[in-house]
Amino acid sequence: MTAPLYAIGDIHGQLAMLEEALTRIEADGGPDARIVFLGDYTDRGPDSRGVLDRLITGQEEGRDWITLLGNHDRMFAWFMEDTPRHDPHLLVGYHWLHERIGGVETLASYGLTFEDRTRLDALQARAKEVIPARHTEFLRRLMPLYETPDLAFVHAGIRPGVSLPQQQENDLVWIRQAFHDHTGPHPKLIVHGHTPVDRPSHYGNRINLDTGAGYGRPVSAAVFEGRNCWLLTENGRQLLTP
């Protein structure tokens, strides 16, 4: 019998919510449970630094934790490159430090604040001084996709009609409408986050586990056995069906 596989939706700097989700998983599957984290560990919430520390420490301790790449994680990683890189998928006028995106809150979790009219190169130089190298290395190692025989885990979704090996990273971390509008089968059941919903939702060909932690709503955790999915609640497993 295949061991259960667990997944945690978008975290967005909510360390206390992450700990609660991990507690529910350990109660269901023990300390050695395999967990897939669906990305967006940083931005908007109060403790992106603490979330990254928790994930890195868990992996260093030998936890079976698979960490996927989210669009917010990639924006953070790109900001920390030798020359900061701007994500072209953002709306014109938006950037990682825009008030709607959350980079300001991420830097603040490292004790780094700045005034208006600060130059980007000066801010980045300060960031390189205070942000641990292990954090930026972790961000650069994140995987865009993880597969089992029945499931494909990804941050945002996949491009319909494109095989899984041919998917582009920009789609895996950013796609929305073309993926959401597709009602036909995918190569596997897709488990994703990225787009906040009121509660974890099963659409038949995909499952969305982003329940809005970036806006203060709880982080969701689920368990899979084959294609079957249960939410992990304070009262135990709750079957999730289309």
pTM for this predicted structure: 0.96
- Quote the CA–CA distance of 119 and 94 in Å, as a whole number: 16
**Is 108 among the domain residues?**
no
Residues forming beta bridges with residue 239, ordered by sequence position: 230
pLDDT in tens, 219-233: 999 999 999 999 999
* CB-based contact 159:179 (threshold 8 Å): yes
Mean pLDDT throughout 146-165?
98
Residues 6+ apart with CB under 8 A from 16: none
DSSP string, 148-209: -SSEEEESS---TTS-GGG--HHHHHH--HHHHT--S--SSEEEE-SS--SS-EE-SSEEE-
> Which structure tokens are listed for 103?
């980079």
Structure token pair of residue 72? 């917010």
Q: Is 84 inside a domain boundary?
A: no
52 inside domain: yes
Q: How many domains does the chain have?
A: 1
User: Could you give the count of Cα atoms lying within 13 Å of 181 in the half-sphere of its Cβ?
Assistant: 6
Structure tokens at 183: 């009602």
Asked if the structure places residue 63 within a domain, the reply is yes
Host domain of residue 59: 5-70+142-240
Q: Tokens 């099963």 — which residue? A: 202
Task: Classify residue 76: in a domain, yes or no.
Answer: no
Residue 172 CA from chain centroid, whole number:
11
- Identify whether the C-beta of residue 68 lies closer than 8 Å to the C-beta of residue 154: yes
Any domain includes 180: yes
Q: Indicate whether 53 belongs to any domain.
A: yes
Dihedral pair phi/psi, residue 145, rounded to 5°: -155, 140
In a domain, 151, yes or no: yes
Domain of 151, CATH number, reads 3.60.21.10
Name, in order, each residue with C-beta under 8 angstroms of 74's C-beta and a sequence gap of 6 or more. 87, 139, 142, 173
Per-residue model confidence as pLDDT tens digits over 17-68: 999 999 999 999 999 999 999 999 999 999 999 999 999 999 999 999 999 9
- Structure confidence at residue 1 as a pLDDT band (50, 70, 90): low
Distances (CA, A) of 110 to 82, 97, 165: 19, 15, 37
Per-residue pLDDT, averaged over 153-169, amounts to 98
Look-up of token digits 């950013």: 174
CA–CA dist 229, 7 (Å, integer): 10
